[in-house]
Amino acid sequence: MSAACILGCAGTALSAEERAFYRDVKPWGFILFARNIEAAYQGAGLNHTRRDAADDADALIFGDQAGGRVQRLKPPLARLRRPAALFGQLYERDPEQAVEAVTLNHRLLAHELSALGFDADCAPCVDLLHARGHGVIGDRAFGSDPSRAAALGRAALDGLLAGGVAPVVKHIPGHGRAEADSHHRLPVVSTPLAVLEETDFEPFRALADAPMAMTAHVTFTAVDPEACVTLSHWAISTVIRGHIGFDGLLMSDDLSMKALGGDFADRTRRALDAGCDLVLHSNGDMAEMAAVAQASPELSGRAAERAADARAPARRSQSFDPEAAEARLDELGLAGHEAAADEGVFARAGLA
């Protein structure tokens, strides 16, 4: 049985200590960043090595690849992809073309991730853009309109799933109103519940059938003034599972973020007790991972069932012509590009 955690790795190769640790812990999955893959030829082989270390051929390997500022794998590993905001702007002019473009873009993301041995992606972000919100969301959002975020979020799900990559919707039930970056401190949102229901929660409700979702390290005073969503049983049971109706696999956002207090074992226990099925820890720090692992039980019950369902879409890719997809995106002005210096479209959109 797998432990209820997703863990990171320190470098491009596993040390003997890491191998022994992962084999003992058996994490349900791994998450990798740019520091973990230096060349394309390493990708699939190294990810196989990680699954072997966990003694689980089905362990999911997660990327965090959405385009724009959140693109961990860059050229030559993967083409740079446009931020969500640009697709949202196209939606204002032509909704059908925007849906097509997002689907193709995420199908290409899946194609690139699969080639490197990844089979899950922490995308799409369907948080809404709010004028007073912290820039940590910014152009990662499709826009401020719930119906637009829902439509383009659905297109992103469709594209990733068609490429055999399991998507993770984030940051449920919404991070856009946060006026602080949860990487550094805990955001507190005082918006009334009725307003949240009609706005921020709506895209997540529309995507409630997604296989996985990631919590927001945000405190909503109208929901639970004492704890952020990740650590709040009331927020998870009443809002995420209840009002929104999400019944897929729920993982925490990264436990190493400074929005959370307490030691790592305490963070892990509180997140799981609140109702997260799994916890995520990404930085590869061995001491922190050991504390997370020590507090992570084996997956069981409904959480294990959700985990099995979440794995099902991975590695089930449909036939695809990436060159044709790139050509169509190029027609729409939204194709990927090779070099970070090619920022003209970003500048024209005010996103550079």
Domain that holds residue 211: 3-348
Structure tokens at 197: 């229901």
Active-site position among 181, 183, 243, 337: 183
Structure tokens at 222: 């109208």
Active-site position among 253, 254, 277, 281: 253
Per-residue confidence (pLDDT) for residue 76, from 0 to 100: 87
119 assigned to active site: no
Q: Backbone dihedral region of 144: left (phi > 0), alpha (psi from -120 to 50 degrees) or beta?
A: alpha
> Which CATH number goes with the domain that contains 9?
3.20.20.300
Q: Backbone dihedral region of 262: left (phi > 0), alpha (psi from -120 to 50 degrees) or beta?
A: left
Which residues of the chain register pLDDT less than 70? Answer: 39-48, 339-352
The answer to whether 105 and 67 are in contact (CB under 8 A) is yes
**Of 190, 201, 180, whose CA–CA distance to 259 is shortest?**
180
DSSP state string for 59-108 = -EEEE-EEETTEESS-TTSS-B---HHHHHHHHHH-HHHHHHHHHHHHHH
56 assigned to active site: no
What are the φ/ψ torsions at residue 346 (nearest 5 degrees)? Answer: -65, -45
The count of domains in the chain is 1
Structure tokens at 318: 């449909």
The answer to whether 33 and 74 are in contact (CB under 8 A) is no
Distances in Å between the Cα of 123 and the Cα atoms of 22, 46, 127, 282 are: 25, 22, 11, 16
Per-residue confidence (pLDDT) for residue 14, from 0 to 100: 87
CA distance 48 to 61: 9
